Amino acid sequence: MANTNQQKFPDVQGGGSLILAWQIKNKTVLVVGGGEVAAGRILNVLNADANVIVIVSSSLPISRRSLPPTLLPTWSSSPSTTRPPLPRSGKLCKEHHIPANIADVPSECDFYFGSVHRDGPLQIMVSTNGKGPRLAASIRKWIGNQLPAGVGNAIERIGELRVKLRKIVPDPADGPRRMRWMTKVSDAYSWDDMCALTDEDMDNLLIFYPSGKAPELQVLKAMRGGKVPEDLDVFDGSFGFSIGA
């Protein structure tokens, strides 16, 4: 007998990349090369709060101290050296199991730099798996233009609400319930409404967590100034009336 509650997943397509949010804060990233492509790579990793080492010109001496320790034995045996050919640097990374992106050689890349739309905490990456970087940039711009104004600020406010909720309900066992309530809250308000939530509004919103409800925005506004739900004269649709003959 078939399980009618089984979730339907999409068919496996294959040939794609596993797109992840890679946390590289305070990790060391080596960029070999210069020009516009290298500048874009450097900006990407700096935005992720990484420590960047840049090797730019073959005429510029490079101290062994500036290289990752795992590369020192095979890079050069002299106190300083010049930039090795790019294919050699990629080969060294593979030999030492260091993930690498080799510009213009997609087949040698362990990962790709997609075209990224950024709005505060929101990041949307478009990848063509190395087949059409220019097209990825055009698609990214189109997606960015479709998003509502203030979406980054709204996400920031929701993130602050999650932090507040975890402080008052820290037990990991309550995780599923927290997630269900946050989903309900996220679906209850428009982007503009979420951007306009004050710290007081979010504190008042947490009052409704035990009941599992997400109140209408007018209720939160009416609670400003220290009022509690019992003191409000706001119709929330929770009761009705009838007229008898």
Q: For residue 53, what are the contacts with CB-CB under 8 A and spacing of at least 6?
A: 28, 29, 30, 31, 66, 67, 68
Cα–Cα distance measured from residue 15 to residue 26, given in angstroms and rounded to the nearest whole number:
32
Residue 109 contacts residue 100 (beta carbons within 8 Å): yes
Q: For residue 11, what are the contacts with CB-CB under 8 A and spacing of at least 6?
A: none
Q: Which helix (H) or strand (E) holds 231?
A: none
Bridge partners, residue 63, by sequence: 80
Q: For residue 64, what are the contacts with CB-CB under 8 A and spacing of at least 6?
A: 72, 75, 76, 79, 80, 81
The string of DSSP codes covering 74-133 is: HH-SSSEE-PPPHHHHHHHHHHTT-----TT-GGG-SS---EEEEETTEEEEE--TTS-H
Note if 174 is an active site residue.
no
Q: Which of 11, 49, 104, 119 is catalytic?
A: 104
Q: Which of the residues are catalytic?
A: 104
